[in-house]
Amino acid sequence: MIAPKSVTVSLAAEPADAGSLEGGGIYPAGVEATVIATANEGYSFVSWTEDSEVVSTDASYTFTVATGRNLTANFQEQGSKVITSVTLPITPPVAGAVPDSLLGLGAEQYSVGTTVEYSGWDPAMPNGYFEVETAYAAKLMLRAATGYRFSDHVTVMVPGANVELNIARDRESLLLTATFPATAANAVTGICEGNGEVFLGEGTYEFRLGGVSYGDFTFTRCGTGWAIMDADGQYAAFNRGSLVMQEEPFVWKYGCGSFYTNVTTPVGGWWFRAKITTRWYLTGDGSALTVSKSGRNACASLYQDFSYDEHCYGKYVSCKDGTHCMTCRRCGDVVTEGCSYGDDHRCTECGFHDPAATEIRVLASVKKTCVGYGPGARTVWKATIQAEGIGLQIRKVEYSATGTRWTKGSSFTSPKEIDSFYIRVTDSQGAVHTYQYLDGEVTEEV
């Protein structure tokens, strides 16, 4: 009989010093394993998680070993309460009320007010701030009051906005981005129009997978994941290795930029039982949605039409022809202007050097030096050439003793004293400049 393969169960605590763990190690596949988490003084056990997903809320967790497991025992300080949901009454900016590209608005400008609701604990104002990036987006840092922690699966609701969360490792703070779609109240019609990528949130968007558009779909929260509905009111769902459209919502998980579902299948014979979990990705074949075990072409992105009354231009960039341009970060509109040069012959906006103010600078020196040691030592003279281009580049440097036969290089030696030699420099525009070194001076030959 062939012995069953061995698999490893790895355990970790979060925080690392919050408790002790038992049950990790190597097991034969198909047997039952029990892992136990014991909290240290001052902490209490919260849950076992794997890949950020909760697998058990019991300190003693028993499961059948089929594949390697990486389990994390999560603890919290005693006396702290878990924040499971937050509702923030943030008001979207009205057209024209917020200047384009305005940054650093403080809480006194966009206050969260006093009606913030936190489920499961006493309401308290967090310490936070806003940074308005565009007329329709705001970032806010929320900090939990003393004795509280945010849940790993906290839900933050901002009425009328799509919300993206980034929870700190210690769960004492979270960074949220609230994006407000254009509505009748804040919609604008202006010169900056187009279609841009937005964060995942509840709403209707153009759905792209692997860069290919599959039309408009509506995304809504459903349990611990997302339901995806097409324009005909049918929900995308997984059924036995295929994608089907049905009337009932189907829960898709979202992570690492892709939508997926995990399918657990029992395997084995009479001698042992095990389960294998397979991840199926929501992807596309170029014309319609489908599912695949491969994550190829599963990278999801959401796009939405936008319209602003002002462009959002970046910095000027040199066009290398005496002009510079700046491009709108949203719609791609390009503005081109001529360069304006300062006293240093560089453009005051893009830094491009004035092509009409080019210059070649050549320096040369001769140094007497000794080569070798003892009776075999000898004296040589070494010539060094330095060529610098201002407004252009140096392509080639050559030297010659007589000005007729040229050797490429910027230094050379001679057993005799060097009093005079010639220098030839070729610049990036193909022009050739000839110089003579004589008694320590370099002069250009006309």
Note the pTM of the prediction, 2 decimals.
Answer: 0.38
| Domain ranges, ordered by start, for the chain | 6-77, 81-179, 192-306, 317-351, 359-444
Q: What are the start-end ranges of the E strands in 135-251? A: 137-143, 148-157, 162-167, 173-179, 192-198, 203-209, 212-222, 225-229, 235-239, 242-246
- Give tens-digit pLDDT for 229-276: 999 999 999 998 999 999 999 999 998 889 999 988 877 766 667 788
Rounded to an integer, the average pLDDT of 324-348 is: 84
Separation CA 15–CA 85 (nearest Å): 22
How many CB atoms are closer than 10 A to CB 207?
A: 24
Write down the pLDDT at residue 127. 29
pLDDT per residue as tens digits for the range 394-442: 999 999 998 889 999 999 999 999 999 999 999 988 889 999 999 889 9
192-198/300-308 β-pairing: antiparallel
Bridge partners (DSSP) listed for residue 82: 149
pLDDT at 107: 27
What is the rounded average pLDDT of the residues 334-357? 83
pLDDT of residue 184: 38
Could you please report the per-residue DSSP string of 315-355?
--EE-SSSEEEEEBTTT--EEEEE--B-TTSBBTTT--B-G
User: Are the C-beta atoms of 55 and 70 separated by less than 8 Å?
Assistant: no
Q: Quick count: other Cβ atoms within 10 Å of Cβ 246?
A: 11
pLDDT tens-digit series, residues 61-120: 999 988 889 999 988 777 666 666 666 655 554 433 332 322 232 222 222 222 233 222
Residue 45 burial (CB count, 10 A): 20
- pLDDT at residue 189, as a whole number: 42
15 upstream amide cis, omega within 30 of 0: yes
Residue 188: band (very low, low, confident or very high) from pLDDT cuts 50, 70, 90: very low
In this structure, what DSSP letter does residue 23 have? -
- Highest mean pLDDT range out of 4-13, 103-112, 282-291? 282-291
Helix, strand, coil % over all residues of the chain, rounded to 5: 0, 55, 45
pLDDT of the residue at 23? 92
Strands 203-209 and 212-222: antiparallel
C-alpha separations of 43 from 14, 47, 263, 274, 420 in Å: 11, 13, 35, 34, 85
Model pLDDT, residue 95: 37
d(Cα 160, Cα 239) in Å, to the nearest integer? 33
In order, the DSSP letters of 289-307 are EEEESS-TT--EEEEEEEE
Note the CATH number of domain 359-444. 2.60.40
Cβ burial of 395 (10 Å; 0-12, 13-18, 19+) is middle
pLDDT confidence of residue 270: 67
Structural contact between residues 174 and 167, judged by C-beta atoms closer than 8 angstroms: yes
How many angstroms separate the CA atoms of 54 and 73, rounded? 10
Is the distance from CB of 330 to CB of 311 less than 8 angstroms?
yes
Q: How far apart are the C-alpha atoms of 318 and 339, rounded to whole Å?
A: 9
Strand order of the β-sheet with 235-239 is 192-198, 300-308, 203-209, 212-222, 225-229, 235-239, 242-246
pLDDT, position 382: 92
Mean per-residue pLDDT of the chain: 78
Q: How many CB atoms lie within 10 A of CB 168?
A: 15
pLDDT at 1: 42
* CA angle at 39 for the pair 37 and 45, rounded to the nearest 5°: 70
Q: What is the mean pLDDT of residues 186-209?
A: 77
